[in-house]
Amino acid sequence: MNFEEMKLSAETLRAISDMGFEEATPIQSQSIEIILSGRDVVGQSQTGTGKTAAFGIPLLEKIDIADRRPQALILCPTRELAIQISEEFRKLLKYRENIRVIPIYGGQPIERQIMALRKGMQVIIGTPGRVMDHMNRRTLKMDSIRLAVLDEADEMLDMGFRDDIETILAQTPEQRQTILFSATMPKEILELTRHYQRDPAHILVVHKELTLPSTDQYYFEIKEKVKLDALCRIIDMENPSLSLVFCNTKKLVDELSEQLQGRGYFAEGLHGDLKQTQRDLVMKKFRNRTLEILVATDVAARGIDVDDIDIVFNYDLPQDEEYYIHRIGRTGRAGKTGKAFTFVVGKEIYKLREIMNYAKTKIIRKKLPSLGDIEETKTRHFVDKIKEVIEEGHLIKYINIVEEMMTEDYSALDIAAALMKFHLYDADAEELDMEAEPVALARKNARLRDEDDSMVRLFITAGKKDKVKPKDIVGAIAGETGVPGRIIGHIDIYEEFTFVDVPKEYSKVIINGMKNKKIKGSKIHVEKAYESKR
C-alpha cells in the first residue's frame, strides 16, 4: 500500500517521503488506518518490519497541538529503543511544529527529565521503570493520556516489567486507545490484551510476507580468492542492467569497485565516508543508468530508493541475519522477480543456515556458470543483435564490402563465420578452479568411504586453511574429552574441514566435549558427517 492512499496530513506524507520510505510495509498497511480510526490494535510481526512507524504515524497524527498535557505514552523495554523511537518520531514530525516528544529512561539524570516534562510534553516514550518513578514523584500525570502503546510487549514481559506495566496502565483513563505490538504472542500477552484492550483488531503479518517471495535466492560455495572472478562471471552470464553488491566493510567497497572498473564494468562504491555530494552523484548515475553496478555497505545502502534492481549480490555474507532481509529486499520490488546471489566461503555455510532459519526462506545452492555457459549466452546475445541489425536495414555499404570479398573466392558463409569468431572468441578465457569442495558433496563421499560399522565419521569445521595437522586433531580430542588418542581412526583433512573416524561408542562424548572448543585458535563445530542409517 502507498502512504498516499492513507488519510494522512500533507506534512506527514512529506516527512515519510524524506525518510525514503517508498511504500508501507505489510504491518503498516494493515495498522495505520485502524489506529487512526481510534480502534485498539494488537499487532504481531517480526523485527525489522517497521512497527515503530506503524504506530508512530497514526499516533502523531492524533496529537492535539492545543493541549500541552501528555497525550500519548509509549512503553518500551530499553533505553536504546526509547531513543530510537523518539528519533523516528522526530523525523516523522519534521514538517510539523509544536509537538513535543521526550524519551525518558533510567541512567539519565531525573532532574533533567523533570524539567523537560514541566515544559509540557505531549508524547512520552519511556521504559516502565522510569515512567513509574516519575508517576510516583507526580512529575508525570497519566490522567490526560488518550493513547497508550506497548512496544515489544514480549520483550517487556521477559524483562519482568509486567507489574509496572499494569500499574501504569491502571492509572491512565479507561477510555484510552491501547496499542500493543510484539514480535511474538505468548499467552501472557493475550492476557494483557484481554485486560487492557477493548475489542482490539488483531493484525498478524505472517512470515511469508516478510521473506520477499518474489526474490529467487541462490548461493555459491566458492573460495575467497576467486570471489571477484565469480562475480564477473555471474554478471556476464545474467547481464543485469542494475545490480547492487554488498560488502561488509568500507575498505572492501573501495577495493571491489576499483577492481570492477579495472575490468571495464561501470561500477561505483557507496559508503559512509563519502561526502554527501559524492553520494548524490553516485546515486544520480545509478538512477539514470550510467552505472551498472553499485557496491555498497549495509549502512550506505539503507537510504537507497531505487526500484528495478535486478540482482543483489552478497559478496560478503551479512554479519547480521536481519541484514540479509534488508539486503535482498532491495530487489524483487514492484511485482517483479529479482534475484539474490550469496557467496559462501567455508564455514560460512553454517551462518547461511542460520539465515535461512531466521528469514524462513530457502536459499538454493547453484553452480557457477562455466566458460561454456557464458560463451553460449554471449553467442545468443550476439545472434539476436545481428538479427536486429538485419531488420533495421541500411546495409548497402556493407553488402558492397561482402560482395567485393566474394569476388576473391570467399563464400558468404566463410565471411560470416569469421566475423562471428572475431567477435566472440576470447583468447584470455581460462577455466579457473573456482569452486570450493562443497561440504555436502564431501560428506557424501565420506559416507561412501565409510564401510566399517563400528566406526562413525565426524565432521570438524577446521582444515588445512587453519593449518590443522592430524596430531592437532588427536591432541584436541584427547585433551578436551579425555578419550584416549589411540582410539581415533582415519583422519582426512580438507581445505576448510576435516573428517575423523572414531568408534561409535565414543562419538557422543566427543561431539559434546568439543562443543565451542578451539583447534589452533579457531572455534570449531563437530557433528556426525552424516545421519546414521536407520
- Determine which residue in the list 12, 30, 31, 49 makes contact with ligand ADP, applying CB under 6 A: 49
- Element (DSSP H or E) covering residue 182: strand 177-182
Quote the CA–CA distance of 278 and 257 in Å, as a whole number: 15
Interacting span for ligand ADP (CB under 6 A) from 19-27, 188-196, 231-239, 370-378? 19-27
Compute the least distance from the CB of residue 54 to ligand ADP, in Å. Answer: 7
**Which residue is it, cell 542494475?**
242
Q: Residue 147 or residue 149: which is nearer to Mg ion going by CB?
A: 149
Chain residue whose CB lies nearest ligand ADP: 50
Task: Identify which range of 45-53, 292-300, 429-437, 493-501 contacts Mg ion by CB under 5 A.
Answer: 45-53
Instruction: Kindly tell me which residue out of 13, 21, 254, 438 binds ligand ADP, with binding defined by CB under 6 A.
Output: 21
Q: Whole-number minimum distance, CB 66 to Mg ion, in Å?
A: 30
Q: Which of 15, 30, 50, 51 binds Mg ion (CB under 5 A)?
A: 51
Supply the DSSP string of 264-276, one letter for each residue: T--EEEE-TTS-H
- Which does residue 182 touch among ligand ADP, Mg ion, none (CB within 5 to 8 A, set by kind)? none
Question: Cα dist. 27→43, 349, 511 in Å?
Answer: 8, 31, 43
If the CB atoms of residues 51 and 176 are measured against Mg ion, the closer one turns out to be 51
- Stretch of residues binding ligand ADP (CB under 6 A), selected from 33-41, 50-58, 269-277, 468-476: 50-58
The single residue among 13, 48, 201, 437 that binds ligand ADP, judged by CB under 6 A, is 48
Q: How far is the CB of 149 from ligand ADP (least distance, A)?
A: 12
Cell 577492481, residue?
A: 259
Ramachandran assignment for 244, one of left (phi > 0), alpha (psi -120 to 50 degrees), beta (any other):
beta
Question: Cβ closer to ligand ADP: 338 or 346?
Answer: 338
Q: How far is CA 148 from the centre of its chain?
A: 31
Stretch that binds ligand ADP, among 23-31, 210-218, 409-417, 419-427 (CB under 6 A): 23-31
**Residue of the chain from 28, 122, 182, 297 that contacts ligand ADP (CB under 6 A):** 28
Helix H or strand E encompassing 343: strand 338-344
Residue nearest to Mg ion (CB): 51
d(CA 95, CA 303): 20
DSSP 23-74: S--HHHHHHHHHHHTT--EEEE--TTS-HHHHHHHHHHHT--TT--S--EEE
Question: Does residue 43 touch ligand ADP according to CB under 6 A?
Answer: no
Nearer to Mg ion, 149 or 222 (CB): 149
- Containing 150, the helix (H) or strand (E) segment is strand 147-150
Residue of the chain from 9, 47, 290, 411 that contacts ligand ADP (CB under 6 A): 47
Nearer to ligand ADP, 80 or 224 (CB): 80
Per partner kind, with CB cut-offs from 5 to 8 A, the member of ligand ADP, Mg ion, none near residue 49 is ligand ADP
When CB distances are held under 5 to 8 angstroms depending on the partner's kind, the choice from ligand ADP, Mg ion, none that residue 53 binds is ligand ADP
Chain mean position to CA 517: 29
Q: What is the C-alpha to C-alpha distance for residues 356 and 336, in angstroms, rounded to an integer?
A: 22
Taking the C-alpha atoms of 384, 386, 388 and 394 in order, what is their torsion angle to the nearest 10 degrees? 180
Q: Which H helix or E strand runs over 132?
A: helix 128-137
Q: Which residues bind Mg ion (CB under 5 A)?
A: 51
Q: Which residues bind ligand ADP (CB under 6 A)?
A: 21, 24-25, 28, 47-53
